[in-house]
Chain A
Amino acid sequence: MNARAAGLGVLALAALVLLAFVPRLGNAYYLALAISLLQYTVLATAWGMFSGPTRYVSLATTAFFGIGAYTVAVLGEILPWPLVLLIAAALGAFVAAIVGLSTLRLSGVYFVIFTFGLTELIRQLVVWFEVNKSRVLGRYVFVDITQADIYWQLLALTAAVFLLGWLIARSRLGFALRVIGEDETVAKHCGINTTFAKVALFTISATVMTLVGAIMAPRWTYIEPSIAFNSMISFQVLIMALLGGAHRLWGPVLGAVPLTLLFELLSARFPNTFTIILGCIFLLIVYMLPRGVAGLFEKLSATAGGKATGRVAA
């Protein structure tokens, strides 16, 4: 182990311990904000884990988030909580593997459209099922989970996602994904089973997103398809990851934190024009920071000279 990695590890652990005390502040507003921050941090990081190296733009975040939330709405009262989470994760992984196998052979543009359509499809399926089979429009979520519990679970998931991402980046799978992102034809000629690699990472990323949805579900007491499958989540996560820089594990968080705060402010102050502002922010980011905040930091540290190189912790 090199000293740098060990140092970062200690730093991360210290941050984790500190963050664990947020619910002890006893301020409901701060706790709610912290939950939002963690939620988007995990979603954007999970999004970047797949889309960063492969450069496939996925709009399916909402689909998996919704699957997680709905699993809780249906099973939350019946089964013990850990089992509910496990089932949600398994369901998310299953759907992701099927979607991955059927779409990741497609080229980029078709993939974007498909993932967007997928979200609508799943939402309509849920509506159809609820109306025709279970004869309810929405469901009440009665589980014994406090806001602090939600926060701690999200914090644990955040830690797990960063650890997982770090392990993958160092693994052969992580290297394979970088090669695929560079040139898929070359990747195949290097002996990479590109379909397997992409499906594997898509599934991992989607499972995390599903878990976020499941953990977040008790925050609402009432869930209906339009709440659980709100496609704004897909777009917000996309913008956050791109602002932060999806080519680095630590990139998306740099976008998730400021934008969550900004969105919080905007949606409270300008509820009607919120989406327009969102669109403008998106355009600005793509034009001004094509490699995100992470890319900007790399550039700065590279031009700052000395020992610093542009490519850190690859």
Chain B
Amino acid sequence: MSRENGTPVLEVAGLRRAFGGLVAVNDLGFAVAQGEIMGLLGPNGSGKTTALNLMSGVLRPDAGTVRLMGRDIAGLASYRIARLGLARTFQLVRVLDGMDCRENIKAGLAFQKPHLPATEAEVRIDTLLDRVGLAGHDRRPAADLTYIDRKRLELARALAAKPRLLLLDEWLAGLNPSELMIGIDLIRSLKADGITIVLVEHVMNAVRALCDRCVVMSSGRKIAEGATADVLSDAAVVKAYLGGVAADA
């Protein structure tokens, strides 16, 4: 694969967002290179989801820049950001309950430009259903799916647009051990496809297995950054997690 001579897929600098007096994200900065999986860690309430919301356009930053392949997207409408190649899933899974699985995935690709020809779109939907383990469920209403299958469907919808950057907000949470293995393999296969991923996750085994590097947040600030093994043994990180989620889940 050709390297994009150094331009990170995602580059965040000086990002800040306050809710009233609470600064949920404070001077956050990091970069994610092409094909990398970067873990975004931190105890509950440390600002991880808020950071994803700022990158994907759900929230407007008070300050700072978010560069997607070199282009500043901070404050852009989320539909524009989506069309520039950023896709995400939500901490509280969001699928379109009134539609079947096929339509859910179609929603992910139908509004990307340029538009795919109908037959190609159908093929891509079938491929995605198969890939996330929902083959044969294409006409099933999303409302009838189990929790795990809803997560799968949401991921398939995010992948439908062939994103350059994928933001996963605790996508592996709530899976049982065997489902977790499958989930980890699935995310690893996305990396093999060249998708760059920001992974917000509390499941430390998954973080160890998947992340090339990690950024750790606490109270909105970045407290550590580096190779996964180093970061997870960092004294400040262990301290931040004490009382929160155990570092060895």
A residues sitting closer than 8 Å to B (CB atoms) are 172, 175-176, 178-179, 181-183, 185-194
Contact = CB atoms under 8 A, between A and B. Distances in A.
A138 B100 CA distance: 54
Contacts of B78: 188-189
Contacts of B207: none
Interface string B92-122: 0011111100010011101111010000000
Contact of A182 (B79, B83, B99): B99
Q: Is the interface of B mostly helix, strand, loop or mixed?
A: loop
A1 to B, nearest CB: 15
A192 B113 CA distance: 11
A189 B97 contact: no
A183 B94 contact: yes
Contact of A175 (B97, B107, B113): B107
A190 B111 contact: yes
9 contacts: A172-B110, A175-B106, A178-B99, A179-B99, A183-B94, A186-B95, A188-B57, A189-B79, A192-B111
A87 B96 CA distance: 40
Given A185-B58, A189-B82, A193-B79, A176 B111 contact: yes
Given A182-B97, A182-B98, A182-B99, A188 B79 contact: yes
B161 interface: yes
Contact of B110 (A185, A188, A190): A190
B46 interface: no
B106 A182 contact: no
A190 B108 contact: yes
Nearest to B78: A188
B228 interface: no
B82 A188 contact: yes
Contacts of A175: 103, 106-107, 110
Interface of B: 56-58, 77-79, 82-83, 87-88, 90, 94-99, 103, 106-108, 110-113, 115, 157-158, 161
Contact of A191 (B82, B94, B95, B106): B82
B79 A191 contact: yes
A182 B94 CA distance: 10
Contacts of B87: 189
Contacts, number: 63
- What 10 A-B pairs come out closest when comparing CB atoms? A191-B111, A182-B96, A191-B82, A188-B78, A191-B83, A179-B107, A188-B79, A190-B107, A192-B111, A193-B79
Contacts of A179: 96, 99, 107
B63 to A, nearest CB: 23
Contacts of B88: 189
B82 A190 contact: yes
Contacts of B95: 186
Nearest to A310: B141
B110 A186 contact: no
A125 B90 CA distance: 46
Given A175-B106, A175-B107, A185-B58, A192 B96 contact: no
A310 to B, nearest CB: 9
Contacts of B58: 185
Contacts of A186: 94-96, 107, 157
A159 B244 CA distance: 63
A110 B12 CA distance: 35
Contacts of B77: 188, 193
The interface centre, meaning the residue of B82, B87, B106 with most chain A CB atoms within 10 A of its CB, is: B82
A191 B112 contact: yes
A193 B83 CA distance: 10
A186 B78 CA distance: 10
B56 A189 contact: yes
A190 B98 contact: no
A279 B9 CA distance: 58
A118 B46 CA distance: 44
B44 to A, nearest CB: 22
A304 B155 CA distance: 35
B79 A192 contact: yes
Contacts of A193: 77, 79
Nearest to A176: B111
Contacts of B79: 187-194
A187 B108 CA distance: 9
A181 B113 CA distance: 22
The interface centre, meaning the residue of A178, A182, A183, A185 with most chain B CB atoms within 10 A of its CB, is: A182
Contacts of B107: 175, 179, 186-187, 190
B56 to A, nearest CB: 7
